[in-house]
Every structure is written in C-alpha cells, then in structure tokens.
Copies of this chain bind each other. A is one copy, B any other.
Amino acid sequence: MAETESPIRLGIVGCANIARKVARAINLAPNSVLHAIGSRSIEKAKQFATVNGFPESVKIYGNYEQVLEDPFVDAVYMPLPTSLHVHWAVMAAKKGKHLLIEKPTALDVGELDRILETCESNGVQFMDGSMWLHHPRTVKMKQMLFDSKLLGDVNYVYSTSTTAASPEFMENDIRVKPKLDALGALGDIGWYCLGAVLWAKNYQLPTVVTALPDVTKNSNGVIISCSASIQYRQPDGTKTDAIIHCSFLCNTSMDLAITGSRGTINLNDFIIPYQESSASFEFTLGAKFVELHIGWNVKPEKIVVASELPQEALMVQEFARLVEGIKTYGFLPDRKWPEISRKTQLLLDAVKKSVDLGCKPVYF
C-alpha cells in the first residue's frame, strides 16, 4: 500500500520468522515497499516469497550481498542472528543502505559502535526493531509519564518478558546457540525490558546494575532466564529502582509497571499488544486507602489507545520517513534512534557482565 509517490524500497536480508511480520509491515506502511529478499539459499528465498505471497516485483536473491548491491534498494531490514550483525550491517552501511536491524543490535556495544560509526560516516539511518516504542499507546504513556501533574517522579519500574520455549526451540533455535545469539534470552527478550526501563527514565543511564542470582544457563552457557536490579541514584538523594525479568522457561508475560510519586501505570502486553486495532493500559492517580483502610479511594482507569496501523508498520513508516528525508531532502540521519539502541545495548552489556561476574554490581 505505497501511497507516496516514491516509497522507500526495502530489502530483507535473511528469512527469519520475524521477517514475515516485518514484510507485512513494509506492505502496510504507506511510504515503503518491499523490493528484494535475500537468503543464503535461493530455494529458501523463493519459498519464503511464495509462502508470504510476495508480488512478482519483489527480487529474490540467493545470498545477502546481492540485496546490498541492488541499486534500487534504499534500506535493508536485517533479522539475522546477532553474531552476524556487525559483518552484514557494516557492509550494508558501507554500500549506503539505511539500516533497520533486529534486536539485540550486536553482541556488545563495541560491535554496535562499529555499525553506528559506519552508518554515521556513510550518512545512513539506523534503527533497531523495537516495535513497541512506535505504538501510539507507548506515546500516550510517555506523555503521561512526563506530565509532572500526573505520574510524578518515577520511583520504580518493573518489567518482564517471558515465553515458555518449546523443547524444539531450546534445542535448535538460534537464540540459544552460543555462536549465533550468545546473549540468549537476555538479548532476545530482555532487550525489551531493559529498553522499557530506559524509556521510563527518558534514556538516562543507571548508576549500577546487578544481575540476580536466579540466572539459568543452558548446557552451552547461554542465558535462558535471568533477572536484574537496576538502580538510579542521584547526588540529591532521589532514586529510582528497577527490576527486570526475562526467561525462555516461563509462560508468556510482558508486564510493565511504572510507579511514580503520584501515580502508577500497569499493563501486561507492552511488547505485543493483545490485538492490533487498539491497546490499553491501567492508570491510577493519587491512590490512597479510604477511612479504616477498607478499600481504595480510586480504582485504576483503563486507557484505551486505538492504532490505525500495527506497531511494526508504524515503525517501518517512521524509518522510511527518516530515510525519505535523507534521500530526498538531504537531511542528516536522525540521532535519536541510534542513541536509544546504544543505551539499551550498554545496559544489556552491564547485565551480561554482572552475570559473568557472578552477580557482582556493575557501575556506569
């Protein structure tokens, strides 16, 4: 549904499952179009195109290089295993392709910096695939978070991202293979929790991070479940504490609770909303107990936010909008999105380091 005159043409590098969702999003976004798909095998790429009903106009390549070399590809979406990111992302940026890359962005911030520096020096846009940040519900919550009359100072953030992985996943998925996604559950789904903490703190980095002793690794040493305490301590004595929990061993949850000095926000589907058309969260302002403590003075208010497009299509739309600005109007790449990615990666690195140190605190 390309509604602009010259929609941004995206190439997809890799046929991961998530690419199916993003291919649909590229189609739904009004300013982008799917131009090419590349896989390590032409058969896999063809099958992927057929299964997902891509039109014949979509180029199908039997390797990643050809996507990056296709002069009609403006930007690439890269859902490759994390360990391959630095190689292919740097190559894409060098070839002037704008980059929408799956999370975790890299194995560590050193790798990410190589990607970001290449993007910067080649004038290409960088954005990671944190779809929830683009949902209008997220925007609405942020407005309430930073309205000083509402939530007040953020005192506490709690976030989970858990999924009960199948035995087949736990055996074979790239996300539990040390050579492919060495960050395991922390990288794949903990990324969202860490991102949510940073988001709630307006991307301020914490003072200290400590992994909890509940970490579980698989036989290859990959984290499949862990938690972390994230502390913000200001010189004036104010503080924020956050706790995150991510696990491949636990039934689906994606809870986000933010407690401010005057109000709270609660939701249980912050990463993937229950349904596409609208999403909600609960907000409680000035909760106190009534006389005799036999109830509350207020009940949570359910705030529903409609979404005209799925959040992943909004993400692609925002990405394509920035690419359009660079391509057509000569704007500089937007710095907000790479900064968000980099801080999330820094926080992830700190949790990983704390896990590796046996849950010792890691200071920023």
The chain B residue with its CB closest to the CB of A288 is B252
Flag if B245 contacts A243 (CB, 8 Å).
Answer: yes
Interface residues of A in 234-292 (CB under 8 A from B): 239, 241, 243, 245, 247, 249-253, 255, 257, 259-264, 266, 268-269, 272-276, 282, 284, 287-289, 292
Do A245 and B289 form a contact, CB below 8 Å, given A212-B212, A273-B295?
A: no
CB distance from A119 to the nearest CB of B (A): 27
Do A282 and B266 form a contact, CB below 8 Å, given A18-B293, A241-B227, A243-B243?
A: no
Counting every copy of the chain, the complex holds 2
Binding stretch for chain B, among A54-62, A69-77, A155-163, A338-346 = A155-163
> Which residues from B are CB-within-8-Å of A275?
295-296, 299
Do A257 and B253 form a contact, CB below 8 Å, given A24-B292, A229-B213?
A: yes
Flag if A274 contacts B295 (CB, 8 Å).
Answer: yes
The chain B residue with its CB closest to the CB of A298 is B274
CB distance from A204 to the nearest CB of B (A): 17
> Which residues from B are CB-within-8-Å of A249?
155
CB distance from A6 to the nearest CB of B (A): 28
Complex Cα distance, B259 from A253, in Å, reads: 8
Interface residues of A in 199-248 (CB under 8 A from B): 208, 210, 212-214, 216, 225, 227, 229, 231, 239, 241, 243, 245, 247
CB distance from A304 to the nearest CB of B (A): 13
Q: How many residues of A contact B (CB 8 A)?
A: 63
Given A158-B245, A208-B213, A227-B229: 6 more A-B contacts, CB < 8 Å? A156-B253, A253-B257, A268-B284, A272-B289, A275-B295, A276-B294
Counting from the closest, the 3 A-B pairs by CB-CB distance are: A252-B287, A214-B241, A212-B229
Sample (23) of A-B pairs whose CB atoms are under 8 Å apart: A20-B292, A21-B292, A21-B293, A24-B292, A24-B294, A155-B251, A156-B245, A156-B247, A156-B250, A158-B158, A164-B261, A210-B212, A214-B229, A214-B231, A216-B239, A250-B259, A251-B262, A252-B284, A252-B288, A253-B259, A253-B264, A255-B266, A272-B289
